[in-house]
């Protein structure tokens, strides 16, 4: 029986990266808070969702970031719970779907498709709790998500060519 030994230094580094990415998500979201909530959204911080395809630690980091920014959401606890769960599910799906591919651009494309498609959960939340029309809302939040993900894919793709994001 073999066990993977994780040093205290590696564990500390991992915790620090989770905190850093969560804080970066919060900071990016709060630079344009008017675009962060509602039926028309453009959270540039959503481009960080791509990090999940490189290392599952970022699933936690992004979920923490979403939870924190959703404290300020007009939908309050509803957005804190459902928004965080939505991020947890979509980034987990991205991680497991992309892990068999080695090409960074394929990983980022998988993440873009999954995360954009999963905006149905945001549209449903806004439909049920704010009375927003589902399909129109889905179109707008999916478009905003897609834009943020494309921008994020370019940036993270270029960084990933120089930095091992899986480590």
pLDDT at 30 over 90: yes
| Percent of all residues in the chain with a pLDDT value above 70, rounded to a whole number | 97
CATH class of 8-160: mainly alpha
- 129-158 burial string, b = 16+ CB within 10 Å, else e? eeebeeeebbebbbebbbbbbeebbeebbe
pLDDT at 52 over 90: yes
Give the model confidence (pLDDT) of 75-129 as tens digits. Answer: 999 999 999 999 999 999 999 999 999 999 999 999 999 999 999 999 999 999 9
Residue ranges of domains in the chain: 8-160
Average pLDDT of span 50-77: 97
Give residue for tokens 């009375």.
131
């Amino acid at each position: 029986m073999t066990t993977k030994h994780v040093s205290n230094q590696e564990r500390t580094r991992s915790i620090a990266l989770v905190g850093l990415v969560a804080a970066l998500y919060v900071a990016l979201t709060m630079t344009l808070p008017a675009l962060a909530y509602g039926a028309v959204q453009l959270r540039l911080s959503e481009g960080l969702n791509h990090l999940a395809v490189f290392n599952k630690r970022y699933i936690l980091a992004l979920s923490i970031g979403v939870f924190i920014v959703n404290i300020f959401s007009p939908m309050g606890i509803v957005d804190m719970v459902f928004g965080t769960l939505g991020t947890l599910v979509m980034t987990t799906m991205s991680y497991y779907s992309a892990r068999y591919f080695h090409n960074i651009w394929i990983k980022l494309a998988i993440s873009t498709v999954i995360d954009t498609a999963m905006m149905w959960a945001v549209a449903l939340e806004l439909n049920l709790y704010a009375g927003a029309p589902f399909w129109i809302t889905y179109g707008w939040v999916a478009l905003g998500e897609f834009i943020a993900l494309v921008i994020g894919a370019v940036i993270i793709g270029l960084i990933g060519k120089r930095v091992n994001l899986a480590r």
